[in-house]
Chains A and B, each alone.
Chain A
C-alpha cells in the first residue's frame, strides 16, 4: 500500500450515528483520493483532495457526506446519520510524489464500515 495509512480498519455504527474515516498519504504527499466499494461492486470515485482544497468532488453523494484534508493531520471522510446502504469498504489512495503521471495511484488497506 506504499505507506498510505487508513484508520480505523473496521468500524461499526448504528443507524443515525456519524462515521469518521481517516487517511494519511505517504509522508510528504499532499493529494488523496477517496473511493467507495459497495458489496459485490467495483470501486467508485468519491472525491479528490489536495491539502486545504477540494479538487474534484463529483462522486460525493449530495447529502450526509463530506471530506476534508487540512493543512495538518490526515484527510477525513465524514458520513453523518449513517444508513445501512453506507455499509461498504472505503479506500483512500495517493498518487506518487509529483502527482499523477498516467501510471498508478497507491491504495490504503481500506476502512470497512458496517451500519447496524
Chain B
C-alpha cells in the first residue's frame, strides 16, 4: 500500500465548477500535511498547509481528518488557471522529509 494515495484523475471540469480532491495516508504518526500544486515540467509549489480545524485561502479549502487519516482539498469557482496537478503531501518526521502522493490532475475547460 502506498503511504499517500490519491485518485490520479484526470478531473475535467467546466469553468466555475466546484471540485474536490481526496487523499489518504497510512502513517498515523504523520505530523504535517500539505497540498502542493505542480504545473507541467515545473517544480511543486506549496498551495496550502492543512490543519485539523480546516483552513481556507480564497477559493481553496483544505481539511484534515486525523481519525480517518484523510485529507481533502476543495476548489470553488474553478478558473482555467487552476489546471495543474495537485499533490497531497505528508510529513512524519521533524526533518522535513516529505511523502508525496501521485498527484491528481485537474483540467478546467472554458
Cα distance, A94 to B87, chains bound together (Å): 18
| B45 touches which of A44, A55, A107, A112 (Cβ 8 Å) | A107
- Contacts A42-B103, A104-B34 given; indicate if A112 touches B94 (C-beta within 8 A): no
Given known A42-B87, A102-B31, A104-B34, contact A56–B95 (CB-CB < 8 A): yes
A41 to B99, CA, bound (A): 12
Contact count band on A: 20 to 34
Say whether B102 faces chain A, with CB atoms less than 8 Å apart.
yes
Contact of A55 among B31, B49, B95 (CB under 8 A): B95
Chain A interface residues (CB < 8 Å from chain B): 1, 31, 33, 35, 41-45, 48, 55-56, 89, 91, 95, 99-100, 102-105, 107-110, 112
Q: List 6 A-B contacts (CB under 8 A).
A: A42-B101, A43-B100, A56-B95, A89-B41, A91-B43, A107-B45
